[in-house]
């Protein structure tokens, strides 16, 4: 079973990287972060204050951008039928695909976020904590987006609809991710409570996504 799940995660990551999806997400992330300082103007204080929020919003959009094809490709080429018929429970298949998608799209965002944080004038302590909150929080975004992608798999053209449909559900992740960063940067609220809620959100999403995703895919297969 472990081998099967690793194969699903590995194939998803490999196809996302080959399809250029990972790169598109990164470029999008970079574009948003680079453009914001121009929009805000030469106010370095303001920029470093909103920096963590900009990083989070850019990461949120870049993650959702990539999930559109997570299940639709499998449905279009017929793999989804075979995945549904295999011994591996469909819920675990969804979980493994989320892990693969996150490794190819979420993890690169986390890795480059300190670098882009520099462009926004975030203090060194803030760079670390922003990367940490993204590391913990972006899996939740992938899980929520994947649930939406599974729901849209049955439609011929989901596309942007996924981003719009799941955006409301990602807002709690955004709120606690950003407030954990601010707790370190400006205080005086403690860091731990919002951070632990962020962890909890990721864990909850990790449980709900396989169940809801599997139900949605059963309908898509019919």
Provide the binding-site residues for another protein, judged by CB under 8 A: 1, 3-4, 6-8, 11, 14-15, 18-19, 76-79, 81-88, 221-222
CB of 214 to another protein, least distance (A): 14
Q: Which is nearer to another protein, 198 or 220 (CB)?
A: 220
Cα–Cα distance, 146 to 123 (Å, whole number): 33
Q: Which is nearer to another protein, 97 or 174 (CB)?
A: 97
Residues of 22-35 as b/e, b for ≥16 C-beta within 10 angstroms?
beebbebbbebbee
CB of 156 to another protein, least distance (A): 15
| 3-class SS of residue 46 | helix
Q: Which is nearer to another protein, 188 or 222 (CB)?
A: 222
CB of 115 to another protein, least distance (A): 29
Cα–Cα distance, 220 to 71 (Å, whole number): 10
Residue 194 near residue 183 (C-beta atoms within 8 A): yes
The residue among 111, 120, 122, 177 whose CA lies nearest residue 144 is 177
In the chain, what is the straight-line distance between the N-terminal and C-terminal CA atoms, in Å? 25
Which residue do the tokens 């990083």 mark? 55
CB of 157 to another protein, least distance (A): 19
Q: Which is nearer to another protein, 3 or 41 (CB)?
A: 3
What is the number of alpha carbons within 13 Å of residue 180 lying toward its C-beta?
25
Tell me which DSSP letter residue 187 carries: -
Q: Which is nearer to another protein, 161 or 221 (CB)?
A: 221
Q: Which is nearer to another protein, 208 or 221 (CB)?
A: 221
Cα–Cα distance, 32 to 61 (Å, whole number): 9
CB of 8 to another protein, least distance (A): 7
CB of 23 to another protein, least distance (A): 14
């Amino acid at each position: 079973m472990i081998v099967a799940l690793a194969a699903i995660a590995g194939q998803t990551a490999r196809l996302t990287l080959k399809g250029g999806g990972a790169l598109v997400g990164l470029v999008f992330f970079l574009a948003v972060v680079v453009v914001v300082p121009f929009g805000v103007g030469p106010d370095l204080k303001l920029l470093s204050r909103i920096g963590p929020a900009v990083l989070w919003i850019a990461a949120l959009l870049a993650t959702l951008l990539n999930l559109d094809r997570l299940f639709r490709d499998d449905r279009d080429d017929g793999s989804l039928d075979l995945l549904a018929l295999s011994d591996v429970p469909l819920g675990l298949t969804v979980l493994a695909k989320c892990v693969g998608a996150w490794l190819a799209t979420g993890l690169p965002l986390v890795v480059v976020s300190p670098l882009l944080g520099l462009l926004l004038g975030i203090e060194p302590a803030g760079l670390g904590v922003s990367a940490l909150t993204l590391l913990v929080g972006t899996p939740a975004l992938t899980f929520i987006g994947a649930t939406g992608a599974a729901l849209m798999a049955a439609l011929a053209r989901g596309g942007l609809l996924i981003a719009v449909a799941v955006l409301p559900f990602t807002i709690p992740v955004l709120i606690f991710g950003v407030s954990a960063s601010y707790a370190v940067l400006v205080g005086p609220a403690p860091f731990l409570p919002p951070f632990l809620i962020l962890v909890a959100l990721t864990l909850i999403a990790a449980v709900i996504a396989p169940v809801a995703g599997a139900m949605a895919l059963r309908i898509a297969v019919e």
